[in-house]
């Protein structure tokens, strides 16, 4: 099985430890993932801003970069969702179709491709799980409160299997954090307020480590946590599952 790691640009530049943890966790699970150096971005920033046609060269570059792999794995539900859903405006060659269907979110890949449902480890902390909307509602990785009161999902299950880890029960289990790509600057006021409210929900209910599957949401929430100097540590879930110690 030939697997490539795709890292969104902001993880590459600002959160290299997330990329490293992804490679290491995959290796522990028996997968050696390549990192094609020519990779850039999925094109979502342009497309969400209404400039989808400007993103076409980026889409083509993405497909050219990853066409020869069986799977493209990314620790970022939002980017994966974009590739799978919105790469429909370029010609649907067999390569494009292949790349769209084989691009998988990391935890979806671990559970549904590798068939791994438990990752041994210990993390004796109160952990708050932030569900990324694109992972949850877009890729159906977790139940939606609009449909059912049952709080369940891929990441929730994986984290629950970690020894000593206690999950926070939030007042609002799946409200958006307000990052929203360029929304975070074009509607900066609302974006910040949404993030502050999300963080407060975690603080109120005892979260000491805030985690999730999408670093973009977490970058925004971490920005608020650090500005408000709150006693909360923000980690991508892959760091916890790879044995991070805090």
Q: In the window 82-141, what residues touch other proteins (CB under 8 A)? A: 86, 133-134, 137-138
- Compute the least distance from the CB of residue 54 to other proteins, in Å: 4
Closer residue to other proteins (CB): 76 or 162: 76
Strand partners, 122: 163
Query: Could you tell me which of 44, 77, 94 has the C-alpha nearest to residue 237?
Result: 77
User: Nearer to other proteins by C-beta: 63 or 209?
Assistant: 63
**How far is residue 67's CA from residue 63's CA, in Å, rounded to a whole number?**
5
Q: Is residue 213 a contact residue for other proteins (CB under 8 A)?
A: no
Among 3, 4, 6, 11, contact with other proteins (rule: CB under 8 A): 11
- Can you tell me the distance from the alpha carbon of 102 to that of 67, in angstroms, rounded to the nearest whole number? 9
Residues with Cβ < 8 Å from 26, sequence gap 6 or more? Answer: 3, 5, 32, 33, 73
- Cβ count near 233 (within 10 Å): 16
77 near other proteins (CB under 8 A)? no
Q: Which stretch binds other proteins (CB under 8 A): 93-101, 158-166, 220-228, 235-243?
A: 220-228
Would you give the binding string for other proteins spanning residues 150-189, x where CB under 8 A is met? ----------------------x-xxx-xxxxxxxxxxxx
Looking at beta carbons only, is 92 or 228 nearer to other proteins?
Answer: 228
Contact string 187-206 vs other proteins (x = CB under 8 A): xxxxxxxxxxx---------
Query: Is 111 or 199 the residue whose CB approaches other proteins more closely?
Result: 199
- We find the least distance from the C-beta atom of residue 200 to other proteins, in angstroms, to be 10
CA–CA distance, 7 with 76 (Å, rounded to integer)? 8
DSSP 70-119: SEEEESBHHHHHHHHHHGGGS---HHHHHHHHHEEEHHHIIIIIS-----
Interface with other proteins: number of residues (CB under 8 A): 78
Q: At 47, which helix (H) or strand (E)?
A: helix 44-48
226 is an interface residue for other proteins by CB under 8 A: yes
């Amino acid at each position: 099985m030939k697997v490539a790691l795709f890292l969104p640009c902001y993880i590459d530049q600002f959160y290299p430890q997330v990329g490293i943890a992804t490679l290491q966790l995959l290796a522990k699970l028996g997968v050696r993932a390549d990192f094609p150096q020519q990779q850039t971005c999925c094109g979502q920033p342009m497309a969400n801003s209404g400039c989808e046609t400007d993103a076409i060269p980026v889409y083509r570059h993405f497909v050219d970069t990853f066409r020869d792999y069986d799977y493209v794995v990314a620790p970022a539900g939002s980017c994966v969702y974009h590739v799978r859903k919105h790469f429909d405006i370029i010609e649907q060659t067999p390569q494009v179709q292949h790349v769209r269907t084989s691009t998988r979110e990391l935890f979806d890949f671990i559970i549904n491709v590798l068939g791994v449902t438990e990752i041994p480890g210990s993390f004796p902390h109160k952990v708050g799980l932030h569900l990324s909307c694109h992972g949850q509602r877009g890729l159906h990785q977790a139940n939606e409160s609009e449909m059912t009161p049952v709080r369940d999902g891929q990441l929730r299950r994986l984290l629950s299997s970690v020894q000593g880890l206690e999950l926070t029960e939030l007042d609002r289990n799946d409200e958006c954090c307000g990052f929203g790509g360029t929304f975070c600057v074009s509607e900066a006021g609302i974006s910040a307020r949404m993030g502050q409210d999300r963080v407060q929900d975690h603080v109120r209910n005892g979260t000491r480590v805030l985690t999730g599957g999408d670093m973009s949401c977490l970058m925004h929430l971490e920005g608020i946590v650090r500005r408000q100097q709150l006693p909360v540590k923000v980690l991508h879930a892959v760091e916890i599952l790879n044995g991070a110690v805090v």
